[in-house]
Structures are given as structure tokens and as C-alpha cells.
A and B are shown apart, each in its own frame.
Chain A
Amino acid sequence: MDLKPEKKDILKEVANIGAGNAATAFSEMIGYTINMTVPKVEILAIEKLPCITGDEEDYIACIMINFEGEISGKILLVIDNQNVEKMLKLIFNTDSLPEKKMQMSALNELGNILSGAYLRAINDFTDLNLNQSVPALAFDMAAAVLSSSVIDYSQTEDYILLLETEFIAGDEKLEIFYFFIPEKDSLDILFERLGADSVD
């Protein structure tokens, strides 16, 4: 799997538009300014995914949303344990954490809002119709969670394409990793729609 720089730039643009819209929605949800890093486009050997946010045994929360329609893929939101607590306190505007069920609900809602905003921006930009699934959650060791998230792609693929952005919330230095992982066949459709299919 290889990508010409021109195609990488196009994907960066897609990620920038998607993440920008997601950052705005996130900011409205928690009432803090959200900054985001410049999106990165990475082609990653699946075996390397377990360490992408830190160590294999770090405790993380991951929200996974599948999308389908004219193109399909996954969105992963990854937050380390400390940041999950900070974020939940921001969302609920309290110093004590609510019960687990409420926490799960809030994370699902966060997943819905961020992926919805991201996908809507892509839809506006490309005119591709996209639907998102109900979010699924995992709290556990990073390697166990991340490897399981893309296991259905790894049957035939050895590499995945990641569009990566980090969100940082206000003074709290709250970091959230945001990964947009299109299926391999969907990439061609995306490039075709953006007029980059002739770039080889």
C-alpha cells in the first residue's frame, strides 16, 4: 500500500474539514474551546496499531463507530484513563463522577456527536452519502482494544490507512485521539469523487 503525495494532501484536506467540524461540535457540547492538531495521514502496518497512542498495557477508553453508504470505514476515538475522567467531569460539569451507566451514555453521545459532525463535513465536501452505526465502547488495555477494533479489516489487509487528529480542550489539556479509517476499496471512490483518481 502506497500513496502519492498529491493523494495524501487530498486526504489531509478531508481530515481537516471533518475534524474542524467535529471540534466545533465538541466545543458546543462541553462549552470549552477545542483546539486540534494538523491532521496526519498514515499508512500503518496493522501490527503497529496497538502502540499508536502509547504503551500496549495503557488503560484506555475507545469509542468505535462504523460508517457505511457510498464509502465505508471506522471512526475510533481513543482517550486515556486520566483524560476520560477529566472529560466526564467537564461534560457533567461536576467534580465527582456519575455512575458508570451515565458515563457510558455520555461517551456514546460524544462518539455520536464527533463522528456525526466529521461525516457531515465529508458529505458536504464530497457529496458521498454516509450513515453511522451506534457507537460501541471498550475500556481496557490499549493493545487489546485497538487490535480488536480493526480485526475485521485484517483478514485480508496487512496495512490500514489512518487519518489522525488530536483534540485538545482548553486549559485542561484534555487529549483525544481521533482516527478515521476508510476501507481500502472506499479510498478509490473517495479519490474519484474528489477528482484525484487520475493521480497515480
Chain B
Amino acid sequence: MSGWGLIVLINQQTAEKIIVKMADYAVGEQGLLLATLGLGSCVGIALYDSFRKIGGLIHIMLPENPGQKKIVKYADTGIPFLISELEDMGASKRRMTAKIVGGAGMFKFEGGDPVMQIGRRNVEAVKNILKEENIKIIGEDVGKDYGRSMYFYLDDGKVEVKSFSRDLLII
């Protein structure tokens, strides 16, 4: 067995993993792996301060909170909430970068027309909000017509995107 392969294996085994459910979030520091499984029209947003090695992952379902609803379910209330959670941990907003994944159109009619446009609206909303917050998107895998799982390593901010129809993507 090559030494390199062994190192990778050990890294994966020792990284403590937190699974972020739909309409939920998690934050953490170096050594942690944040994952969210099966993003369809939902969008996963990974925010990272590479200097402090602090990051957070949120799995939003919809663009706009109609008011009085669960904060982390919607992009417009969830992203600012995640930013402030990270700041509370000592991350700096001006050092934060973003990677976004998801926003697909999963259902199609016979003949190939997509059914719902909610995925696209989610991606637009997420991009607008990050722009307003002055956070640069440095990696993305969004849209199209397939589901994705997202693995966010807080050691270096790397994000792996797994899907059935594509090879593993690293952003």
C-alpha cells in the first residue's frame, strides 16, 4: 500500500463528521467535516474563514422567508444568521468566502421539460444575498438536473461534491 493512500484513509477516518439536515446548519473549526446529503432544488452554502479555519454549512430550501418562519430554511434569513454565528466564533466576515452547491431541477415531464424552477430561484437568491454581504463565491456546482451531496472540510475549506451521474468534483 502506498503511503499516500494510507494518509488519505487516516484523514477521512479521523475527521469528525456532522451531517447537516435539510433546513438546518452547523458551524465548526479545523478537524471537522460538515456534510449535507442529497441536495435537489435546495442549496448548500459553505462559508469559510481560511485564516481562522472556521466554517459553517447551511442547507436552505427556499429563497424568501415569508416572516416568522424557521430562519435557516430560507436563504434571505439563513445566510445572515450563519454569518453572525461564525462571527461569534471569531471568524471575520471580510475574510469569508463561499462555495455553493445544489439548486437543480429534479423532475421532468416526458420529453425532457423541467417541472419546477425553484432550484434556479434558490441559486439566484443565494448569489444576491452573498453579493449584498460582500462575500465572494470562490466555487460552485449549481443548477442542471441531478442531486448532489456536499462534503466541506474545515481543515482547508475544500468542498467535495458527490452525485450519481458525475465524477467526484472538488471545488
Contact = CB atoms under 8 A, between A and B. Distances in A.
Interface stretch (A30-38, A122-130, A135-143, A164-172): A135-143
Contacts of B70: 158
Contacts of A50: 22, 37-38
A91 interface: no
Interface in B9-38: 21-24, 37-38
Interface stretch (A13-21, A148-156, A177-185): A148-156
Nearest to B38: A143
A47 B106 contact: no
B125 to A, nearest CB: 13
A100 B134 CA distance: 45
Contacts of B38: 50, 56-57, 141-145, 147
A140 B164 CA distance: 7
Given A47-B21, A155-B66, A144 B110 contact: no
Interface string B154-171: 000000000111000000
A104 interface: yes
B116 A151 contact: yes
B118 interface: yes
Q: Pick from B23, B38, B66, B73 the residue with the most CB of A within 10 Å.
A: B38
Interface string A174-195: 0000000000000000000000
B147 interface: yes
B147 A151 contact: no
B110 A105 contact: yes
B45 interface: no
Contact of A147 (B40, B105, B110, B149): B40
B116 A47 contact: no
A64 interface: yes
B146 interface: yes
A105 B73 CA distance: 35
A136 B61 contact: no
A144 B104 contact: yes
A152 B22 contact: no
Contacts of A136: 107-109, 115
Interface residues of A, number: 32
B118 A138 contact: no
A90 interface: no
Nearest to A140: B147
Interface string A29-61: 000000000000000001100100000110100
A145 B22 contact: no
A57 B149 contact: yes
A108 interface: yes
A138 B108 contact: yes
Given A148-B106, A148-B107, A143 B37 contact: yes
A156 B108 CA distance: 24
B92 to A, nearest CB: 31
Contacts of B62: 151, 154-155
Interface in B100-149: 104-110, 115-116, 118-119, 146-149
Interface of A: 46-47, 50, 56-57, 59, 62, 64, 104-105, 108, 134-138, 140-149, 151-152, 154-156, 158
Interface of B: 21-24, 37-42, 61-62, 66, 69-70, 73, 104-110, 115-116, 118-119, 146-149, 163-165
